[in-house]
Copies of this chain bind each other. A is one copy, B any other.
Amino acid sequence: MRTSNLLLPIIKENPKEAEIVSHRLMLRAGMVRQLGSGIYNWLPLGLKVLRNIEQIVREEMDKIANEILMPTMQPVELWQESGRYEAYGKEMLRITDRHERPMLFGPTAEEVVTDIFRNACKSYKDLPKTLYNIQWKFRDETRPRFGVMRGREFLMKDSYSFDIDEEAAKVTYWKHHATYLKIFERLGMKAVPVRANTGPIGGDLSHEFHIVAQTGESALYYTDDFSYAMADEMHDPATAPAGFKEARGIEVGHIFNFGTKYSAAMNAKVQGADGKEIFPHMGSYGIGVSRIVGAIIEASHDDAGIIWPESVAPYKVGLINIKQGDEACDKLCEEIYAKLPSCLYNDGNTGAGQKFATMDLIGLPWQIAVGPRGIEAGTVELKNRNTGEKQEISLEAALSKVA
């Protein structure tokens, strides 16, 4: 992609409305624009990162679950069955359609998925079954803030499992636990799973997953193998064993095992091998996909801008033409651009300084700069955004480094 063809509205100054670094950098790098309170437009650069994260989540989830898609609009009747319609409070966006029928914008989907399950699955042979979807949710927060980190409309991966008994449900639960660690590893992030309270979802077994970042909202206490890890709400310094490490974290995932709470309330049962009816044991498992975009930036940035892990970067290489209009520079840049499958070519007429600053700001893993002096010497400048290391090397060497 050429910057001349891309909607990339860079902002040089820090926007006043942004309180935290990820929000500031997402606005400055032209990744998102606010449309309303807690509601964001995703511009090309931000959307690419969001889609890269979504794809990693999908690839790992496909190994343990079926992908489905549930609508944003949900009927209230299912929530009345589960007993959560009144209980959910004002965070639920309640809507009335043209025929005065009440609906709601789904904040989560335990009820809808249990309804899908009870209509489709009638026998123990249909178990185990895990269904997931990656869909926009809406939670009408009193005070949305921090950009996409605490938005009202946000993208969530939510999965739901149905098992024959408690033991099988726990196996599925721990499969999700392992899958989540794999997902965050592929995202290039250090994630800590911590024991958590179950809250309004219910149940007795629950973990949160936090991305470690100095600016994190939660205090985490953990050992190197995470076997006692917990968030501050669960941590009691008086009884904690020695050797606990402390860090700050941003919650990006939460998993719950809650038994038959929804299957019983909504009469979702299957026939067992002995002919008796069984309420499946369930769990639900969330990942805040749009929130992760902000969390990665909180964990990975410097004064100059964002530092994307390679797996989620919108482009792998940023190509800088130091002297746009110079025949040799233009020609070499076109050659390099044609060779790189994931390259953002800054072909604008701005000065070289501004081009370097923009590339640092948007945080692509590699930068290749082409200028007249380098061409004379037979070199280009290759910069690693993460380490800051710069090298004057041959084009071939640069291309093989970024390959």
Q: A-side interface residues toward B, CB under 8 Å?
A: 5-7, 9, 30, 33, 35-37, 39-44, 47, 50, 66-75, 90-91, 93, 95, 97-98, 101, 103, 105, 112, 115-116, 119-121, 129, 131, 136, 138, 140, 142, 152-153
Contacts and interface: CB of A to CB of B under 8 A. Distances in A.
Contacts of A35: 70-71, 73-75, 112, 115
Given A72-B72, A73-B153, A138-B73, A119 B39 contact: no
Contacts of A153: 71-73
Contacts of A140: 97-98
Given A95-B95, A119-B33, A72 B136 contact: yes
7 contacts: A5-B66, A7-B116, A30-B120, A35-B73, A41-B116, A43-B68, A73-B152
Nearest to A40: B71
A292 to B, nearest CB: 15
A41 B66 contact: no
Nearest to A136: B72
Name, among A43, A73, A120, A152, the residue most crowded by chain B CB atoms within 10 Å (CB to CB): A73
Contacts of A90: 98
A217 to B, nearest CB: 22
Given A7-B120, A41-B116, A44-B67, 17 more contacts: A7-B129, A7-B131, A9-B120, A9-B121, A30-B120, A33-B116, A36-B73, A36-B75, A36-B103, A39-B73, A40-B71, A41-B70, A41-B112, A42-B68, A43-B68, A50-B69, A91-B98
Contacts of A68: 7, 41-44, 47
Closest 7 CB pairs of A and B: A9-B120, A42-B69, A36-B75, A90-B98, A44-B66, A98-B140, A39-B71
Contacts of A66: 5-7, 44
A144 to B, nearest CB: 10
A70 B115 CA distance: 29
Contacts of A103: 36
Contact of A41 (B69, B95, B97, B138): B69
A175 B29 CA distance: 30
Contact of A71 (B5, B41, B91, B93): B41
A289 to B, nearest CB: 12
A82 to B, nearest CB: 15
Contacts of A7: 66, 68, 116, 120-121, 129, 131
Contacts of A75: 35-36, 39
Nearest to A10: B120
A36 B119 contact: no
A119 B67 contact: no
A116 B36 contact: no
Nearest to A126: B7
Nearest to A151: B71
Contact of A47 (B69, B98, B101, B136): B69
